[in-house]
Amino acid sequence: MDLERRDRRADMTSDTRRLRIAILGGSGYTGGELLRLLVRHPSADIVLLTADRRAGEPVATVFPHLGAQQLPDFVSLDEVEWAGIDVDIVFCALPHGTTHAVAKGLLHSERRSVVDGLIVETRQDLIAAVPSDVKIIDLSPDFRLDDTDLYAEWYGTSHDAAALQPRAVYGLSEFARGDIATTNLVACPGCYPTASLLPLVPLLEAGLIDHDDIIIDAKSGVTGAGRGAKEANLFAEVSEGIHAYGVAGHRHLPEIEQELGKAAGGSIKVSFTPHLMPMNRGILSTIYVKLATDADAATLRDALTSRFDDEPFVYVVPEGVAPATRHVRGSNNCLIGVFEGRLPGRAVILSVIDNLVKGASGQAVQNMNIAGGLPETTALEQAPLFP
């Protein structure tokens, strides 16, 4: 590493510190959101954009709303010569199975159990031992599941970077700040898991709900299906209606169960059904839970309020208020409401996020800020758009 590069990285938390950013798969919706957020980030310089289908095109032709920004043209991922690029943060907004090769190339996965002479026995040892030159923030599902066999089962392809999986940190920002700050491989959660886990994890940890009786009824905007041309996403197919998909088999299900299991201290199975809504952005998760003995809706609301009281992006709304997706559009916020259930001993939790921001690119920038020692809210301060 040259002297200038080493000196720049040595001052990670300096106010004048600038991070050099690469966005891989930058022409999709999440890539566009990363650009929208990062062009106003005072510590970010975007130096590389890849998009195989749009290689050679300027940003103005792919995202006209960002055409006035001084940004590099898109190039093909295969054309990138990493040895000649000085980069600190690599955002991977790639299809599943693609980040594996990128991560192996950048993070030297061939070291496996011995890293620079250190015998690795724990996850903490492995994180401490890996090179810290480049941090990968992955928006794909490639490193979200701890069990690589489970990944192969749900995604229909082998996990081609299994040696790297133990060093990946599941990057739900509010629950993993310490690990995010020390690793160089962050697996950003999916949009449905983010909306579901934020309210459920604290309640399971506190023993306030029955872990064997959780139902998640979730609804998402069409951007959650990506920007690629698909018949099911045509206007005539989506507008003026709503439909369920991935019933009892959506790929976010094992991710949700994995993290809820950690919170509960044991295996968890939940009922989860996603629905596609005729809107661009947003996720509303309606979650039905069975209360633990002596708990009620007020107990749940108080526990969540206490847990998130100091969080910049998670808010528990007042009693009787039902949060809506229009209340978070374009923001990195998550709003949570709690209601007494009609049946005795049950409660209903409402959780809303913007699937492209808190559910994807906003959380990724939040994780970048944590990893870079920057104020966590940087470039994420914008209020929601209304109406």
Confidence bin at 54 (pLDDT 50/70/90): confident
Q: Give the residue range(s) of CATH 3.30.360.10 domains in the chain.
A: 192-355
| Over residues 292-296, mean pLDDT | 93
92 included as an active-site residue: no
Q: Does domain 3-189+360-371 have CATH number 3.40.50.720?
A: yes
Residues in Cβ contact with 188 at an 8 Å cutoff, skipping those fewer than 6 apart: 137, 138, 139, 171, 360, 363, 364, 367
pLDDT at residue 178 in the model: 96
16 burial via Cβ count (<10 Å: 0-12, 13-18, 19+): exposed
With vertex at residue 119, the alpha carbon angle to CA 92 and CA 109, rounded to the nearest 5 degrees, is 25
Catalytic one of 92, 188, 191, 334 = 191
DSSP helix/strand/coil, 51: coil
In contact, 282 and 357? CB cutoff 8 Å: no
C-alpha 135/C-alpha 163 separation (Å) is 17
DSSP helix/strand/coil, 183: coil
The model's pTM is 0.89
DSSP β-bridge partners for residue 137: 91, 186
Position with higher pLDDT, 223 vs 31: 31
DSSP helix/strand/coil, 297: helix
Q: Does domain 192-355 have CATH number 3.30.230.80?
A: no
C-alpha 283/C-alpha 354 separation (Å) is 6
Q: Give the residue range(s) of CATH 3.40.50.720 domains in the chain.
A: 3-189+360-371
User: Would the pLDDT of 15 be above 90?
Assistant: no
Lowest mean pLDDT among 120-129, 158-167, 293-302: 120-129
Q: What is the pLDDT of residues 154-168, one digit of tens each?
A: 999 999 999 999 999
Residue type at position 246: G
